Amino acid sequence: MTETLAAASAPEVGASPAPGPLIHARGLTKRFGELTAVDAIDFDVAPGESFGFLGPNGAGKTSAMRMIGCVSPMSAGTLQVLGMDPIADGPRIRARLGVVPQQDTLDTELTVRENLLLYGRYFGLSRAECAKRADELLDFAQLTERAGDQVEHMSGGMKRRLTIARSLINEPDLLLLDEPTTGLDPQARHLLWDRLYRLKQRGVTLVLTTHYMDEAEQLCDRLVVMDKAKIVAEGSPRELIERYSTREVTELRFAAGVQETLDGQLEGLAERIERLPDRVLLYADDGEAAVAAAHARGLEPETVLVRRSSLEDVFLRLTGRSLAD
Amino acid sequence: MTAFPLTSAFLIGSRRSLRLVERNLFVYKHGWLVLLSGFFEPLFYLLSIGFGLGALIGTIPGPNGQPIPYQLFVAPALLASSAMNGAVMESTFNFFFKLNYNKTFTSILSTPLSPGDVATGELTWALIRGGLYALGFMGVMVVLGLVVSPWVIFAVPAALLVGFAFGAVGMAATSFMKTWQDFDLVQLVILPLFLFSATFYPLETYPEPLQVIVQLTPLYQGVDLIRSLTVGAISPILLFHVAYLLVMGFAGLYVVSRRLDKLLLQ
C-alpha cells in the first residue's frame, strides 16, 4: 500500500523543471519585541535533501521553522519557500507543506482516522481521495488497528506517528519536523526514524530541528548548528566532526580529589583538552596514543574510555556546556 | 516588522471556511444529543413564563401599542435570547477550548486556511446550529397558535442575525480570555441582557432615561426586531436594528481574525 503512495508522489518531484532550492533564506531574522529569536541567518535547502537545525533550547530553531511554515512573518531578510514568498503566497505554499509541530496538535475530539480525513479536507481534497490516503497512511504509521480510537487515549508514540501521517495527507513536497522524537521511548524513536528514512528515500525533502545528536546523524544529509539565534556551523555530520572535533575522544576519570591536582600535567597530551567536573576529555585522532602518553607521565586514571567523536562533541564545543535555559 | 497582509480573505475567509463546519459535524456525530439542549431551553421558558405567568397577566401592549396576549409578547423575545445564548455558548466555551486546549486552530492554520476562514467557519457552524433551533421554535409557535402575521417568516433570519452578532463578539471577547474563570464575566453580561432587554415586559415599564439606555443594548435590537416581525408591526426602526446587529457581527469577526493572527501567527 505504501508503494502506491510512493508512485503517486515520485513523478511530481521529478516533473518540476530545473529545481532551484526549495528554501532560500538570506539574512532571515525574527524579533519578538526586544528579543531576537533568529538573527540574520543564511541557508538553502535543495530538493530531496534532509536538512537539520541543531541547537540547544531557545537557539531559534522553532522560530525559523515557523517562518518557513508561513505561520510567522519574518522581521527582516529574504525568504523563499518553494520559490514563493511566504507573506504573499502563504496559502499556496502551505498547500504543499507537511508540518509536524513540536507539540502534537491532533484534534482530540476526533478519532484517529477522522483526524486524517478532516486534515485532507482542509487541503481541499475530495472525500474519496481523503479516505484512500487515510487508509494508506494508517498503514504507513502502523495505526490501522487503532483507526476508530479517540486520539485522547493514545500513547505519545502513537500520537507522534499519527501527527506524521497527518502531515503527509497532502503528499507534501517539503516536510517540516520540529523535534519529531522528543519525549518518545527508544522503540518509538526508531520506528519513527525508519518511517522518516522511507520518506527521504521517496524523494520527500525533510527539514527537521532536533537536539538529539543521534537523530541528526541518522537523518540529516546536511545541518546547521544554531546557537543564540545565529548559525555557528554548517556541513554534513561527518564534515562537522572533522572540522570541529578529532577522530577520537578519550575520556579519563580519576579518583575523587585527584583531578584537582592535575594542573600542568595534562598539557600537550592531545590537540585539545577539556576538564569537566567529573572527567577529563582528550581530543586526539589516536586515542590509544593519548592514553599511552598519559600513562607515560605517570597519570593513573581509574577508568579510560576511547571512543569515536560524535556530533555531540561538535555540538558541545560550538554551543558550550552551560544550560541554555 | 513585516506582517501578513490583512486582505479580506485573511480577515473574513473564503469558501474554505466550510471545512470548519465539516469539522463540527464530525465532532457532533459523536455526541449529537448535546445539540438538542438548545431547542428545549426557549421552549421551557415559553411554557413556564409565557403560559404559566401569562395566564395571570392576560394581555400586554405590543410593539405598536395594541394589546396582545402575553405568550405572543414573550415568545419572540425568547427566540431572540436563545439565539444569543446559543451563539455565546458556542463562541465562548467551545471556542476557548479549541483555541487553547485542543490546539485545533493551530493545526488548521498550517494548512491553506486563514484566520478569517477559522473565524467565519466557526461562526457559520454556530449559525447553522442556531438556525435549526430557530426553525424548531417557530414550529412550536405554529403549533401553539402564536403566528398572527406573515412577516413572522423573517423572524428566523432575524434570529440568525442575532446569533451572528453575538457569536462574532463572543469569539472576539474569548480571544482575550486567559482562564476559565474569565467566563464568569460572560454570565455577568449575558444574564442582565436576557432579563432586562424588554424580554418579559414592555420597554415603557422603565423610566425615560433608562429606556434610552436599554434601546442601545444589543439584545434589545434582536428582541424588538423579532417581536415586531412576529406581530407584523413593520417600521423603519427595524432597519436600524438590522444595521446595528450587522455592524456588531462584522466588527466582531474583524477583531477575532486579528486576534487569531496575533495569538497564533507570530
User: Is-contact A211 A54, C-beta < 8 A?
Assistant: yes
Read off the DSSP letter of residue A211.
S
What is the average pLDDT across B225-231? Answer: 95
pTM for the full predicted model: 0.84
pLDDT at B2: 63
Integer Cα distance of A305 and B184 in angstroms: 63
Nearest CB neighbour to A91, from listed B2, B107, B114: B114
pLDDT at B133: 86
Q: Residue A37, SS3?
A: strand
All three cell numbers of B265: 501567527
Three-state DSSP string of chain B: CCCCCCCHHHHCCCHHHHHHHHHHHHHHHCCHHHHHHHHHHHHHHHHHHHHHHHHHHCEEECCCCCEEEHHHHHHHHHHHHHHHHHHHHHHHHHHHHHHHHCCHHHHHCCCCCCHHHHHHHHHHHHHHHHHHHHHHHHHHHHHCCCCCCHHHHHHHHHHHHHHHHHHHHHHHHHCCCCCHHHHHHHHHHHHHHHHHCCCCCCHHHCCHHHHHHHHCCHHHHHHHHHHHHHHCCCCCHHHHHHHHHHHHHHHHHHHHHHHHHHHHCC
All three cell numbers of B192: 442582565
Interface residues of chain A, partner chain B, Cβ below 8 Å: 31-32, 69, 71-76, 87-88, 90-92, 94-95, 97, 99, 101, 103, 105-110, 114, 117-119, 121-124, 170
What is the average pLDDT across B53-78? Answer: 91
Integer Cα distance of B131 and B168 in angstroms: 15
Kindly tell me if the per-residue pLDDT of A125 is higher than 90.
yes
Q: How far is the CA of B122 from the CAs of A56, B117, B189, B225, in angstroms?
A: 38, 8, 22, 25
What is the average pLDDT across A240-245? Answer: 89
CATH number for the domain whose boundaries are A246-308? 3.30.70
Q: Where are the domains of chain A?
A: 2-236, 246-308
Shortest distance, CA A252 to any CA of chain B (angstroms): 47
Q: How far is the CA of B105 from the CAs of A67, B96, B116, B168, B205, in angstroms?
A: 17, 11, 11, 16, 46
- Name every chain A residue with its beta carbon within 8 A of the beta carbon of B16: 122, 124
Kindly determine whether residue B264 and residue A122, on different chains, have CB atoms separated by under 8 Å. no
Q: Residue A80, SS3?
A: strand
Residue with the larger pLDDT of the pair A104 and A69: A69
Q: How far is the CA of A71 from the CAs of A273, A288, B77, B147, in angstroms?
A: 44, 51, 43, 51
B181: left (phi over 0), alpha (psi -120 to 50) or beta: alpha
What is the average pLDDT across B89-112? Answer: 90
Nearest CA in chain B to A70: B110
Kindly tell me if the per-residue pLDDT of A212 is higher than 90.
no
Of B68-82, B125-139, B189-203, minimum mean pLDDT range: B125-139
Mutate to test the interface with B, among A87, A118, A169, A170 (most CBs of B within 10 A): A118
pLDDT at A10: 40
At residue A325 the predicted structure's pLDDT band, cuts being 50, 70 and 90, is low
The length of chain B is 266
Integer Cα distance of A223 and A214 in angstroms: 13
At residue A172 the predicted structure's pLDDT band, cuts being 50, 70 and 90, is very high
Say if domain A2-236 classifies as CATH 3.40.50.300.
yes
Kindly determine whether residue A97 and residue B110, on different chains, have CB atoms separated by under 8 Å. yes
Kindly determine whether residue A122 and residue B27, on different chains, have CB atoms separated by under 8 Å. no
A229: nearest Cα among A14, A57, A4, A5 = A57
At residue A6 the predicted structure's pLDDT band, cuts being 50, 70 and 90, is very low
Kindly tell me if the per-residue pLDDT of B210 is higher than 90.
yes
Question: Which residues 6+ apart lie within 8 Å of A139 measured at CB?
Answer: A1, A2
Give the orientation angle of helix A156-167 with respect to helix A112-122, to 10 degrees. Answer: 30
Q: Match 556546556 to its residue by C-alpha cell.
A: A321
pLDDT at A14: 41
At residue A81 the predicted structure's pLDDT band, cuts being 50, 70 and 90, is very high
Integer Cα distance of B35 and B27 in angstroms: 11
pLDDT at B86: 87
What is the average pLDDT across B64-91? Answer: 91
What is the average pLDDT across B180-189? Answer: 90
Kindly tell me if the per-residue pLDDT of A17 is higher than 60.
no
Q: Match 536538512 to its residue by C-alpha cell.
A: A51
Cα B19 from chain centroid? 22
Integer Cα distance of A42 and A298 in angstroms: 49
pLDDT at A269: 85
User: Is-contact B119 B260, C-beta < 8 A?
Assistant: yes
Read off the DSSP letter of residue A259.
G
pLDDT at B256: 92
**Beta bridge pairs of residue B92:** none
Beta strands A76-81 and A222-227 are unpaired
The one-letter amino acid code at A312 reads E
User: Is-contact A107 A150, C-beta < 8 A?
Assistant: no
A93: left (phi over 0), alpha (psi -120 to 50) or beta: alpha
Kindly provide the ipTM of the predicted complex, given to two decimals.
0.85
Question: Which residues 6+ apart lie within 8 Å of A47 measured at CB?
Answer: A13, A16, A19, A21, A22, A173, A203, A205
pLDDT at A90: 92
Shortest distance, CA B203 to any CA of chain A (angstroms): 44
Kindly tell me if the per-residue pLDDT of A19 is higher than 70.
no
| Angle, vertex CA A227, rays to CA A223 and CA A228, nearest 5 | 145
Integer Cα distance of A45 and A25 in angstroms: 9
What is the average pLDDT across A131-156? Answer: 92
Kindly tell me if the per-residue pLDDT of A138 is higher than 70.
yes
Sign (positive/negative) of CA torsion A68, A70, A76, A81? positive
Q: Residue A120, SS3?
A: helix
- Name every chain A residue with its beta carbon within 8 A of the beta carbon of B106: 101, 105
pLDDT at A12: 43
pLDDT at B11: 76
What is the average pLDDT across A257-280? Answer: 84
A115: nearest Cα among A77, A93, A92, A143 = A143
Kindly tell me if the per-residue pLDDT of A324 is higher than 60.
no
Question: Mean pLDDT over all residues of chain B?
Answer: 90
| Angle, vertex CA A268, rays to CA A265 and CA A269, nearest 5 | 80
Select the highest-mean-pLDDT range: A25-39, A203-217, B125-139: A25-39
pLDDT at A1: 40
User: Is-contact A246 A284, C-beta < 8 A?
Assistant: yes
